Chain A
């Protein structure tokens, strides 16, 4: 059906294009008939002549014999003598452009011109002076736009007859029944025409090779001032004499190189053919190539015209072709724009209808607060400077504010709040965030970029999200662009859910009713599931899962209790939770979440809030894709979820993790069981279930229930086995605190010796595997040795550097130093060190190495000592 609709559309479009082609061609022909294209075509012909149309041997067919200015009054005996001489030398034909009054007309090979002038009584006809010997009209046609380009083969007389021109006679085209106008093929210059004076002919000084086979034109030469014709080769000077013009025209006919127009049929057909070809190209071309096409299409037209002129002796209606192409391209692009506008308007109408169906206006203060909190959190997570969420108004193309962070509705000028205008139309067309100009989104700042993103719901735009980022942020952080796009998707899903939740409730209320007994079994199993979850919560990790908009998707009992103690409430955000739990600044919390969300990494920090005994860490991650499934966070949305795990690290970490995995595994298996039970129940209440299948379904239902029960029992057995594990002496701890404690411990000694301590530690380093007390003592000893070794006024650098899988703490500074072998022996050899700090290092080194850590000490006399402790880093 879709194919058929598309087919109909194609037919409609092709029909419209064909109409455009016919209209453009008709208009072109009309303008051509009115003569509007004559000048441009003539100018193109002139240009072709000047860039080398080519002589095609015109000059080799004629010879000019120049006479005095008024030869008509000359002695006929002289002309006869000249004629004899020319015949003797082999002249093909002799053409007089005047009447020499030869006795008997001169003979078959003589053409006698007869001056003509346009008739005053009859437009288009010529008046020829009466003369008994006149055989032809030596007509020079009226110049078009002041320049002579064309000659006729015959002209109509006032009496109604056709008289050939001397060119037609000379070329042997007589008799003629109708006249034909042709374009003269001019050479580069009139100087190329071979010519002699009449005196030379009469003197017998002419050589036969110059005359033999040529048509000799006899007429007044060019020495008389004031006479001459403008032609394409002499446009600025009246320099071509009528004799020379006749010579070029005659030569054109004799050499078969006269240029003809394509006639009315050609003038009509060519624009039609080229317009059709253009329409096909424009139809298939993308809007981006419009400019190139508009610039490129005239080129082939000009090339074809030049080739036709050069080799086919045809003058194409180039101006008509170019004009029709330009008109067609303008019309086609305008038409396509209108089509796109129509599609966009339709989309907007549908969108508007969809929005009004789907989107409830903020019904309560709570909902408005929810959106405000959502946008605020989104801005903080992604590091946005300003963020405004707009939704369409009812029954108007305007937009209203749903929520904003760091901005307000007034930041968007009133004339920029219409759905049917850019940048909204652009954003909808692109389907992606589009940059917006500086007027949009409040006062301009040079170091920020502003975008408008369409928020899609069920495939149509239902809202718009405007935001400002730091300049170049999307380039610097490759994950940010994807996160922004995903968040826009999630906002769309959330908007749609506002209504979809209601719809689901209705469906559930009117949905399938389960068999009562099955319902009881399911209820029983669900109670047991609850018990299992409760049991898992007691011994397992504390877990809370948020979506990226800050909504709690899941929190187990333990976590909920801890959140209560912490004073965190559901109307606060995961960011607030991080601030409270870790005792860190809002900015540090924001940076942590930003890293987790954008770089898809993990973050771990020591828990300081909540007032509980024991050591805890809070681990934050953003599971994606299949991982979400295992977290039971199916509703997390396209940006994924934020998982907060609070682990009691005073117990065995491994056990907590094992239990966590078990819980996920059990959860997945139990969901399958639950689904099987519901499917069986659904089948049993269907009237169309064949009777013979009913027994099988009941059996499968029984199996599903048994399987779920068995699984629950196995889980419960496992849970009863809890608490039998060894407590280790080391576990994940934050390395920052031990380093800072060590620095504090030696600060007084360093100050007394005026040694400067330079400490470089990241704000939120990942945890390392270590025993906290031993690590602090070990680091203090390292630092104390370095301070003691440093000269007064020296510097000791303490660095904490995170590497892949490792965290290194180094102490280094210039100092007195020890021989390297001696230091090694003091640390690991048989010799007991006297220095308490060295003794402490030596004592604790064995335990440090049980953590999987490594220690390196280096020293050189006169250079100083340096220490490096590498610890396993938790990622």
Chain B
């Protein structure tokens, strides 16, 4: 079981994603934007971050860059993005994302990514 920080500004979607990952046996912590997620990570160790891109206050890309700069030994990050290929995906990976899951999210694909990221994080 891993502790997963789920970051998404859409509360409804966030709750359902959290439920889906709970069913997989993970402990879920949630945050509604990048800044809140960073605050959480400063006070708590998480094994994985599942991150949306388009968010108010601090978007996903900025979160990724800040995470690497500010948090020592940051957890792996799996990004949920509507852009499956292309420059954004490369930018996300360059900024430190462990994987990118295309939206609309296929729940089993997300579960596989999470399992893979948690498995290699340790």
Interface residues, chain A, with chain B CB atoms under 8 Å away: 486, 490, 493, 512, 624-626, 628-629, 632, 634-640, 668, 671-672, 674-676, 678-680, 682-683, 686, 688-690, 693, 696-697, 700, 703-704, 707
Contact = CB atoms under 8 A, between A and B. Distances in A.
Most chain B beta-carbon contacts within 10 A, residue among A512, A638, A693: A638
B74 to A, nearest CB: 20
Contacts of A625: 83, 86-88, 91
B102 interface: yes
Interface residues of B, number: 30
Contacts of A688: 23
Given A626-B88, A679-B17, A634 B82 contact: yes
A531 B108 CA distance: 31
Contact of B107 (A626, A632, A674, A679): A679
Contacts of B83: 625-626, 628-629, 634
A682 B12 contact: no
Contacts of B104: 671, 674-675, 678
Nearest to A697: B19
Interface in B3-52: 10, 12-13, 15-17, 19-20, 22-23
A671 B87 contact: no
Contacts of A490: 85
A424 to B, nearest CB: 25
Contacts, number: 100
Given A635-B84, A671-B82, A683 B105 contact: no
Interface string B88-122: 11110000000000111101100000000000000
Nearest to B89: A638
B87 A682 contact: no
Nearest to A632: B82
B118 to A, nearest CB: 16
A637 B83 CA distance: 9
A686 B23 contact: yes
Nearest to B80: A675
Interface of B: 10, 12-13, 15-17, 19-20, 22-23, 53-54, 61, 81-91, 102-105, 107-108
A629 B16 contact: no
A634 B20 contact: no
Q: Is the interface of B mostly helix, strand, loop or mixed?
A: helix
Contacts of A636: 85-86
A672 B13 contact: yes
A634 B84 contact: yes
B86 A628 contact: yes
B16 A676 contact: yes
Contact of A638 (B15, B17, B90): B90
A682 B19 contact: no
Contacts of B20: 679, 682-683
A703 B12 contact: yes
A707 B12 contact: yes
Nearest to B24: A688
Contacts of B90: 638
Contacts of B84: 634-635
Contact of A634 (B19, B23, B102, B107): B102
Contact of A675 (B15, B23, B105): B105
Contacts of B54: 626, 629, 668
Contacts of A689: 19, 23
Nearest to A493: B85
Given A493-B85, A634-B83, A638-B90, A680 B16 contact: yes
Given A672-B13, A675-B13, A678-B104, A629 B88 contact: yes
Contacts of B105: 675, 679
7 cross-chain pairs, A with B, having the tightest CB-CB distances, nearest first = A675-B104, A625-B88, A679-B16, A629-B82, A625-B87, A682-B107, A676-B13
Contacts of A493: 85
A668 B55 CA distance: 12
B17 A634 contact: no
A671 B10 CA distance: 12
Contacts of B10: 672, 676
Nearest to B107: A682
Contacts of B81: 629
Contacts of A626: 53-54, 61, 83, 88
A697 B61 CA distance: 30
Most chain B beta-carbon contacts within 10 A, residue among A668, A679, A686: A679
A672 B80 CA distance: 11
Given A629-B82, A668-B54, A679 B13 contact: yes
Contacts of B17: 679
A706 to B, nearest CB: 10
Contact of A635 (B12, B85, B91): B85
A624 B108 CA distance: 29
A265 to B, nearest CB: 52
Contacts of B88: 624-626, 628-629
A628 B103 CA distance: 13
A693 B88 CA distance: 36
A637 B86 contact: yes
